[in-house]
């Protein structure tokens, strides 16, 4: 018999469209709570950090809502964590968006604009494929070269290339997802990527249930 669902918390720091990721997680059977309450985050079986907008505003909101410590504490607990788009970028040391802004520094590395290495127009918007560098649990049943939906003008450059789970090309090759221990974060939007995106969320659900 499968274990009963444990709650997935989505961090609400006042930015981005939380409705899409909430509904997508519910569609794959998750019990979901959108929250900015540290005690709810602390008790969750899985944590999702989504995001749309600027890196600088994101960090300011996380600081103002006193969510930095709860997020770091959850990550260090080894329970499943999913970062999406800006929620991936914020895990890194710093971003050059609107000047240098410090991130959560979970991963060493920086966030840079496509214009540094790419002559194509920004934002990088629409469907693009991912090249799987290593088979990690959350990519179970995801074929190599699958297409996912992207909307972004900045991308991450990890110091440790070994954390790159997938690579995507848009004028330049960039890390489109990372994996280490309990952390998976992706530049693309699973909640906007139809059936394959739902497969990733199903895998996250299973990991969260098993961690409970």
In a domain, 25, yes or no: yes
Q: Which domain does 95 fall in, by range?
A: 7-211
In a domain, 82, yes or no: yes
In a domain, 88, yes or no: yes
Helix (H) or strand (E) holding 184: strand 183-186
Please identify every residue annotated as catalytic.
Answer: 85, 189, 191
In a domain, 73, yes or no: yes
176-188 pLDDT, tens digit each: 999 999 999 999 9
158 pLDDT higher than 60: yes
Mean of the per-residue pLDDT values of the chain:
94
- Interatomic CA distance for residues 92 and 74, integer angstroms: 16
In a domain, 167, yes or no: yes
Taken in order 79, 14, 29, 183, is the CA torsion positive or negative? negative
In a domain, 2, yes or no: no
The total number of structural domains that make up the chain? 1
Beta-carbon-side half-sphere exposure of residue 7 (alpha carbons within 13 Å)? 13
In a domain, 129, yes or no: yes
User: For the domain that residue 125 is a member of, what is the CATH number?
Assistant: 3.40.50.880
Residue 169 pLDDT level (bands cut at 50, 70, 90): very high
Residue 171, both tokens: 């004028």
Q: Which residues pair with 178 in a beta bridge?
A: 164, 185
In a domain, 113, yes or no: yes
């Amino acid at each position: 018999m499968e274990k009963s669902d444990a709650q997935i918390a989505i961090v609400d720091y006042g930015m981005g469209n939380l409705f899409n990721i909430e509904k997508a997680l519910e569609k794959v059977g998750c019990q979901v709570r959108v929250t900015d309450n540290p005690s709810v985050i602390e008790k969750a079986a899985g944590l999702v950090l989504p995001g749309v907008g600027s890196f600088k505003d994101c960090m300011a909101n996380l600081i103002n809502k006193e969510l930095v410590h709860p997020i770091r504490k959850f990550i260090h607990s080894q329970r499943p964590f999913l970062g999406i788009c800006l929620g991936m970028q914020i895990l890194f040391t710093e971003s050059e968006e609107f000047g240098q802004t410090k991130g959560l520094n979970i991963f060493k590395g920086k966030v840079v604009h496509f214009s540094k290495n790419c002559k194509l127009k920004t934002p990088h918007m629409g469907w693009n494929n991912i090249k799987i560098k290593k088979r990690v649990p959350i990519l179970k049943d995801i074929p190599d070269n699958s297409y996912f939906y992207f909307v972004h003008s900045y991308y991450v450059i990890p110091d440790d290339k070994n954390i790159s789970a997938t690579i995507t090309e848009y004028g330049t090759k960039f890390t489109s997802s990372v994996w280490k221990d309990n952390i998976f974060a992706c530049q693309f939007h699973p909640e906007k990527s139809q059936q394959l995106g739902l497969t990733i969320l199903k895998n996250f659900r299973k990991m969260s249930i098993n961690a409970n």
